[in-house]
Amino acid sequence: MTAFETAVANWNLLLNGRFSELDKWSEFVLNKYKRNISKDVWNMTWEFAKYLKTDPELQEYSDEGAWPSVIDEFVAYLKNKQ
């Protein structure tokens, strides 16, 4: 199991029911991102999960914010899937 696969497995244990886009995030990391997960990304994933509760449609999301680039990429991925 690669480091990013381990991260996804752990997110699924820890964030199930707490991260509305967990399935899509897991799919994105496993199939598109496919890179190791930094400590910053690990920590900010929980912050992003909390953010989604306040802006579920991502209308206020700005890629100019302090999010890791992988989260910016994920938001673009979500918007392209709609």
Q: What is the pLDDT of residues 53-75, one digit of tens each?
A: 999 999 999 989 999 999 999 99
d(CA 11, CA 23): 10
* pLDDT for 1 beyond 80: no
Per-residue pLDDT, 82: 74
The structure's pTM equals: 0.92
Q: Tokens 């964030």, residue?
A: 15
* pLDDT for 2 beyond 90: no
d(CA 7, CA 74): 16
Nearest to 74 by CA among 43, 48, 39: 48
* CATH class of the 3-81 domain in this structure: mainly alpha
- How do the domains of the chain map onto residue ranges? 3-81
SS3 at position 13: helix
Q: Which residue type occupies 7?
A: A
